[in-house]
Amino acid sequence: MTANPMQGSRNFMVLKKAVNPAMAGLTLAKPVIVNDMVLVEENTTLTGSHIVMLNRNNVKEAFVYIFVSRIPEHSFVETLEQPEPGEPTVKEVKDIINNYEHTLELTQAIQRVVESGEKIDISDCCDVVGYFQKLLKRTRNIILQLINTNTPYNYLLAHSLNTCILAMLLGRRMELAENETLALGITGILHDLGMSMVKDRIWENDRKLTDNEFFEVMKHPIFSRNIIGTIKGVPVTVSVMAYQHHERIDGSGYPKALMSDRIHKLSKIFMVADTYEAASSSRRHRKPKLFHDTVKELINLAGVKYDRGAVKALVTELSLFPVGSFVRLSDGNVAKVVGTNPLVPDRPKIELLAQDKKKKKIDLAREKSLNIMEVLEFNE
């Protein structure tokens, strides 16, 4: 049992909410009681073993603390207490998480300034984007765990930052110049600023949009380009990417239905990062797609709607089973993907969830006798 997260915590707001408890790292705000017996006590931070137990007992809902403006303690931080050579230390991981939160706050501040119509200064934001750009090589797996964890943040904020990081990973993998990779990252933060100008912010509704409403939302790349055009010191490619991030190379995108040769090479990379992030994140009106399914869909559309090279870079970076996926192995065990092997995208690093094999890590690139048999729903 852990300490009550309300105690000794200053910088975050906590809500109690009934949710499906299938997320490691959430902390119970009320005990889970089954057949008059306490199955898991109040204030317990859920681990993979708890989730397996809750599923076995068919517990579909539990009251948990929802951390609104600070990140919950991530289970993966614990797994790094004895980092392997070359892996970041726990302190470095905590620094990354702090900077991730700090960037979310900066992104939120920029969104608020846009809404107020005041002058926008993004210099701080460019600094932290540069920080993540430098970190990507050595801490890729940690950052992937962070961006592939469904945290209870405002969707647009988390989407913006995650797309920023992912787009830079693709840029680096495609060996772009440093300034081009940085431009991809800055675009991540700014590309959806135009959403705040969409009529009545209809995209915030809890339901699927009507055709007319979607038509309104389709204007947001134009709004984003116009806003970015007023910000001093932003490379021109950033407004081009923001304008083109919903175009597709077969001309099926919007707002201009441009064909491949009219779409900037950086936009073609950025749209792959944006599509992956948007599809694999939860929204108010729908569940997230499985990371694996999103990657498969992008592979199917490579060369049709998306640039082949950019999709290849995504698969290399994320693997076929992105970090955060849950998989069943050939020996029947369930595991969570915790790292990738860029040279063997079908054999990632995993961590067993079974109760008797506490946090045992396996690198499938080395352990050839085990195979991934299927990808599981988050709450299986």
What is the nearest approach in angstroms of Fe ion to the Cβ of residue 207? Answer: 19
| Coil/strand/helix, residue 286 | strand
Say how far apart CA 88 and CA 139 lie, in whole Å: 6
Number of residues engaging Fe ion in binding (CB under 5 A): 1
Question: What residue has token string 């801490």?
Answer: 139
- CB 193, CB 223: distance < 8 Å: yes
What is the nearest approach in angstroms of Fe ion to the Cβ of residue 317? Answer: 21
Binders in 154-213 for Fe ion, by CB under 5 A: 192
Q: Please give the torsion angle defined by the CA atoms of residues 88, 292, 289 and 313, in that order, rounded to the nearest 10 degrees.
A: 70
What is the nearest approach in angstroms of Fe ion to the Cβ of residue 220? Answer: 6
- CA-to-CA dists, residue 73 to 46, 89, 126, 224, angstroms: 11, 16, 26, 34
What is the nearest approach in angstroms of Fe ion to the Cβ of residue 52? Answer: 37
Contact between 247 and Fe ion (CB under 5 A)? no
**By C-beta, is 45 or 107 nearer to Fe ion?**
107
Torsion over CA: 359, 365, 366, 370 (sign): positive
What is the nearest approach in angstroms of Fe ion to the Cβ of residue 291? Answer: 20
Say how far apart CA 168 and CA 90 lie, in whole Å: 23
What is the nearest approach in angstroms of Fe ion to the Cβ of residue 348? Answer: 29
Give the CB-nearest residue to Fe ion.
192
Torsion over CA: 246, 270, 283, 201 (sign): negative
DSSP code, position 306: B
Position 102, amino acid: H
Contacting residues toward Fe ion, per CB under 5 A: 192
